[in-house]
Amino acid sequence: MATFRDIIGQEQIKEHLQNALSSRKISHAYIINGEKSSGKEFIARVFAMALQCEEDGAEPCGRCRSCKQALSANHPDIIYVRHEKPNTISVDDIRAQVNHDVAIKPYSRPYKVYVVGEAEKMTVQAQNAILKTLEEPPEYAVLLLLTANVNSLLPTILSRCVVLNMKPVPDELVKRYLMEQLQVPDYKADVCVAFARGNVGKAKALASSEDFENVKAEALSLLKYIKEMELHEIMAAIKKITEYKLEVSDYLDICAIWYRDVLLFKATHDVNHLVFREEIQALRQTTQRSSYEGIETVIRALDIAKRRLEANVNFELTMELMILTIQENG
């Protein structure tokens, strides 16, 4: 089923959209801005479905012909804009699927809804093309632009859209979803929640990812025995991580969560709030040999390494500097 009740968190966005549906004061264009896997697509799907629902309420009924068509992604008046090139939405994509199509009136319902996923991938020419529709939209047209980077859109587009920003979902809601809906064990749910940082889609993906389990095991093994390892052994272990589908930044996040646990345990001696509490023996050993200053130096080094990799600084050099810092201070 796809209803507003199925959306986890995002209360402000839900309230805004449901108020618009109840009052039938629908804007011609919305931007839903949030990081990858945060649930933008699901919110757009529910809103589009509710707009076209034959009961005209604040929730899609899920029973009428229109809802059934929307659920099967087969509704003639809900158009999902596609693009052939993986990293670009071209001006031809927008002209063919939005500008030329919007002149045709809806087939069966009052609205014609266009959903543009990954809108940040629109070229400037594509943005200028969609701007023409935004400037003079037919009364039945509703555009939903979904983006992970609202700043990539032209100011002239932003000024003509209602911008809805996704918020991190509280950890307890994400954990409850993983445990109740996906039957994820308590400990594993804690790790996924800590890693996902309020992103439900990411938490869900991590919970079912074999690669994540492998990368986590590799990272923890490295962190537990780093003091006894030679640099070439450490670099070999780091290179092995690149064989997995996860990003190296995800590996660094695992390391950061480990040292967050070390810092927390050193300060409180409380196991209950630790993410890696099943590794308490190794955490205790790391805590005993590390000073507060040393732990903070390691956490800072992990953050610097992450930013350097994002800036395409040499991988081996970046990782080597980070590892040396961990060996000296962790």
Query: What is the domain count for the chain?
Result: 2
Task: Quote the pLDDT of residue 245.
Answer: 53
**Domain end position, chosen among 146, 165, 184:** 165
Pairing status of strand 141-147 against strand 112-116: parallel
Q: The domain spanning residue 288 has which CATH number?
A: 1.20.272.10
Q: What is the pLDDT of residue 117?
A: 92
Q: What DSSP state is assigned to residue 168?
A: P
Q: Is residue 194 part of a domain?
A: no
pLDDT tens by residue, 191-223: 888 888 899 898 888 888 777 777 788 788 878
Alpha-carbon distance of 310 to 252, in angstroms, equals 12
Q: How far apart are CA 166 and CA 9, in angstroms?
A: 9
Judge if 129 and 220 occupy the same domain: no
Whole-angstrom CA distances from 155 to 20, 145, 152, 159, 230 are: 24, 14, 9, 6, 52
Question: Looking at the structure, do residues 214 and 142 belong to the same domain, yes or no?
Answer: no
**44 plus 149 within the same structural domain:** yes
Pair of tokens at residue 48 = 């589009």
Residue 286 has a pLDDT of: 87
Q: Is residue 26 part of a domain?
A: yes
Give the C-alpha separation, 205 to 245, whole Å. Answer: 12
| 128 and 220 belong to one structural domain | no
Angle, CA 146 vertex, CA 131 and CA 194 arms, to 5°: 155
* CATH code for the domain in which residue 19 is found: 3.40.50.300
* pLDDT for 307: 87
Identify whether 179 is part of a domain.
no
pLDDT in tens, 244-303: 655 677 788 888 888 888 898 888 888 888 888 888 888 888 888 888 988 889 899 888
In the listed set 139, 165, 191, which residue is the last one of a domain according to the structure?
165
Residue 270 domain-assigned (yes or no): yes
Please say which residue of 165, 195, 222 terminates a domain: 165
Q: Note down the domain range covering 230.
A: 209-329
Q: Do β-strands 29-33 and 141-147 pair in parallel, antiparallel, or remain unpaired?
A: parallel
Answer whether residue 267 is part of any domain: yes
Q: Which amino acid is at 236?
A: A
**Has residue 195 been placed in a domain?**
no
Spans of the chain below 70 pLDDT: 1, 241-247, 330
- Cβ(142)–Cβ(113) below 8 Å: yes
Residue 142 lies in a domain: yes
One domain, residues 98 and 215: no
